[in-house]
Amino acid sequence: MDKKIEDKLRWDPYVLLRNSEVTTFTSEHFKVTERKVLYVMGSGFDYRMNLGIRSVKNSDTAIDMDCLLIQYDEGKSSSSRKYKPLVDANLGDLKTIIPAEKIIVKHIDLWTAAGKKKQRVGDKNASDVFDDPALLAPYTDIFVDISALPRGIYFSLIGKIQAIIDLNYPSNEKNFFIIISENAELDSHIKEFEPDSELSYVFGFRGGSELTSDKKEVIWLPILGEGSAGQIEAAHEKIEPDEICPVLPFPSRDPRRSDALLTEYHKLLFDELNVEGQNIIYVPEQNPFEVYRTLAQTVKDYNDTLHSLNGCDIVISTFSSKLLSIGALLCAYEFKVLNNIKVGILNVDSSGYEIEDEESAQKMGDKSELFLIWLAGESYKS
């Protein structure tokens, strides 16, 4: 832990498990028979949709589990319409893992149409699913599997559940986990197109940069991933930051990945956006808690430095893997609770996804790595 952080971070120490550790942990954890699980997941075309639930269920077939399946419609060019056979196949597969009567389906609209304009409302709608805190009451363990959930949903969904747990179960009475099936190679086969034209901050993480009465310097921390130049430009135009600190993945499985990203975005970052070389931040590619710590440290440092200018507002954007994005979420959540520095999240969602080379993409699905991020519960009891 860096000595510069005076206040103790919430997730320090933390629990992060991967692959075989996940199954070892769950088989041990569910030996206690009175546990009851709520497994929240998305219904989609992604080959990784059922990897998490299968792994948890396989560790102990006797687990008492309800599955809350979130179905969403992305609009006319929706990939879930285009890849309906894949969605149906995933759904069929899910019913072999957990009986149909244990699956509670919640449908949410990602868009609302007011006159001629469409607005993204998926984040708020996803959060509204848990408006009734009694929904969580019967369960001892809550899992949110984000493998088949879009960014436009899971930030607010996780934030909402964490907020309810913090309010109603402050002594870590409930276990709260996030599960992700990570596969960078498969991600590179799923191309996003039709990015949103009217961007807005994620519900629950709007930060402070749009508060006109309390204008501060805006610092932008974009977590970079491949093939997102258009989205980065759009986000920059919306945020109009005073300073940019690009966040790159290192250490990473491919040790040259951050170099490749710098090559890809060299013109955009250094010629067009005039980013200073010393502003680059490196975070480990496969550890969201380390991402959270590094970002939290950066937020504090900037705020201290700009103290005489009334502090700063921070905006984090994730153009990279879902695993890294959890680090951003934790950082924004921490400061939301502390209510001292405003940290907003602005992502650029897309309406369309396309799978390149479906056959090989499907094969890659099996090579995914499973990560379990433990956010609240027994391990955090003091």
Quick one: which of 28, 214, 304, 366 contacts another protein (CB under 8 A)? 214
Report the alpha-carbon distance of residue 257 to residue 286 in Å, rounded.
13
Q: Does 137 bind another protein (CB under 8 A)?
A: no
Give the one residue of 55, 125, 140, 320 binding another protein; rule: CB under 8 A: 125
Q: Is 180 within 8 Å of 373 (Cβ atoms)?
A: yes
Residue 117 sits in the site that holds another protein (CB under 8 A): yes
Question: 13 vs 170, which CB is nearer to another protein?
Answer: 170
124 binds another protein (CB under 8 A): yes
If the CB atoms of residues 99 and 227 are measured against another protein, the closer one turns out to be 227
Q: Report if residue 193 touches another protein, rule: CB under 8 A.
A: yes
* Contact status, residue 192 vs residue 351, Cβ threshold 8 Å: no
Minimum distance from CB of 201 to another protein (Å)?
Answer: 8
Question: What residues between 226 and 285 interact with another protein by CB under 8 A?
Answer: 230, 234, 236, 240, 242, 267, 271-274
CA dist., res. 130 & res. 120, Å (int):
19
Beta carbon of residue 258, minimum distance to another protein (angstroms, whole number): 22
The stretch among 66-74, 142-150, 187-195, 313-321 that binds another protein (CB under 8 A) is 187-195
Determine phi and psi for 341, rounding to 5 degrees. Answer: -125, 135
State how far the alpha carbon of 97 is from the alpha carbons of 55, 62, 294, 346, in Å: 10, 12, 38, 35
The H or E element that residue 299 is part of is helix 288-305
Of 65, 58, 80, 66, nearest in space to 33 by CA: 65
Residue from 159, 311, 365, 377 binding another protein (CB under 8 A): 159
- List, in order, residues 6 or more apart from 30 with CB less than 8 Å away: 37, 59, 60, 62, 63
To the nearest whole angstrom, how small is the minimum distance from the Cβ of residue 165 to another protein? Answer: 11
Among positions 22, 87, 91, 164, the unique one binding another protein when judged by CB under 8 A? 164
Q: How many other C-beta atoms lie within 10 A of the C-beta of residue 266?
A: 12
The verdict on 116 binding another protein (CB under 8 A) reads yes
DSSP conformational letter for 147: T
Residue 12 or 194: the one with the smaller Cβ distance to another protein is 194
Phi, psi angle pair for 118, to nearest 5°: -105, 140
Segment 341-360, which members bind another protein (CB under 8 A)?
A: 351-352
How many helices (H) and strands (E) would you count in the chain?
A: 13, 17
The answer to the question of residue 80 lying near another protein (CB under 8 A) is no
- Rounded Cα gap, residues 110 and 31, in angstroms: 38
For residue 263, give Cα distances in angstroms to 128, 227, 259, 270, 319: 42, 12, 6, 11, 16
Work out how close the CB of 186 gets to another protein at its nearest, in angstroms, rounded to a whole number. 20
Q: Report the residue from 51, 56, 121, 316 that binds another protein according to the rule CB under 8 A.
A: 121
**Closer of 208 and 365 to another protein (Cβ):** 208
Which residues contact another protein by CB under 8 A?
A: 76-77, 112, 114-119, 121, 124-125, 127-128, 131, 156, 159-160, 163-164, 167, 192-200, 203-206, 210-214, 230, 234, 236, 240, 242, 267, 271-274, 351-352
